[in-house]
Amino acid sequence: MSASAIPTVPTPLTGEQAEAMAQRHIKKHHVAIVLLHWFNAISWLLELSTGAGLIVSPYYRFAPMWYLQMMEGVFGSRANMLRFHIAVGLTWTAVFLVYAIFGFRNYLRIEVLQNEIGLDRDDMRWLRVRTLLLLGRTKDPLPPQGVYNAGQKLFALLVYTMVPLIMLTGLTMTFHWFGTAFVAWAMVLHFFAVGMVVSGLMIHVYMGAVFPEEKPAFYSMITGVVDELYAYRHHFKWWRSVKIQQQAWRAELTSKEEAIGTDEKPHQDPRTDTTPLISRPQSGDRR
């Protein structure tokens, strides 16, 4: 069986095919990524709420007075709030530093970065069509996408540039690095970088928690898996690469089985193939 049975463009599915694909799961996120994502989410929630409560100068303040007073009441004093903000920020930075040190072999490779932030021609078209769809101005199908869509890639690009800036400026302010002039610049750059991330974060949260078509992506950040139908429709290029990989594994297995004289199973179109390569999680499964 060659890769020819795997479609190169997303073709319409029969009801039967869609049914079968909705039952099968593909692993999308490593458990470490799932845990890191929620750790990051909680850190951001705490840092944004305390950070907004710490900015009291009329030149920089944006939170209403009642919010500042409420946050001061919650923490007892603004000094305590600042200590908390610094403690969470340092923990957050330390965790990502550990992740970068131990994970860079796996995650900081060019193919991985290409998946995460490399925008190709399909991605540029996707951005246009997606915007027009949201405005109800087109009925065109969305161009096929890799493991992350172009919107996610843009957000990743923003986060990858702004988060190191947030960490460095935060450390500069905490430890008074390089003196007063640097601290003064660090402060406004901290506000700027956080503001930029927040502008993307609003879309990220909306798409994950509110937008109906991306709900499987939200659940994948809990279970680590998505169903094949979602992968086929939203991340076709990724679905295809996973299928090619699975066929290669299967061919390897088959050749081993032939060597020990087992009967060869006939191959099928992967869209109606019901062989559970990664089985659907059952209740009571230990994961």
Check if the beta carbon of residue 236 is closer than 8 Å to that of residue 11: no
Shortest distance, position 94 Cβ to other proteins, whole Å: 20
Contact string 9-48 vs other proteins (x = CB under 8 A): ---------x---x--------------------------
Does residue number 218 form part of the binding site for other proteins (CB under 8 A)?
no
How is residue 59 annotated by DSSP?
T
Contact string 64-103 vs other proteins (x = CB under 8 A): --------------xx--xx--------------------
Q: Which is nearer to other proteins, 104 or 175 (CB)?
A: 175
Determine how many CB atoms are found less than 10 A away from the CB of residue 255: 10
Contact residues for 63 (Cβ-Cβ < 8 A; gap 6+): 52, 53, 55
Contact string 175-214 vs other proteins (x = CB under 8 A): xx--xxx-xxx-xxx-xx--xx-xxx-xx--x---xxxx-
Shortest distance, position 90 Cβ to other proteins, whole Å: 15
Helix (H, G, I), strand (E, B) or coil at 202: helix
The closest of 163, 134, 165 to 151, measured between CA atoms, is 134
How is residue 177 annotated by DSSP?
T
DSSP 246-285: HHHHHHHHHHHHHHTTPPPPPP--TTT----SSPPPPTT-
Residues that bind other proteins (CB under 8 A): 18, 22, 54-60, 78-79, 82-83, 134-136, 173, 175-176, 179-181, 183-185, 187-189, 191-192, 195-196, 198-200, 202-203, 206, 210-213, 215-216, 229-230, 233
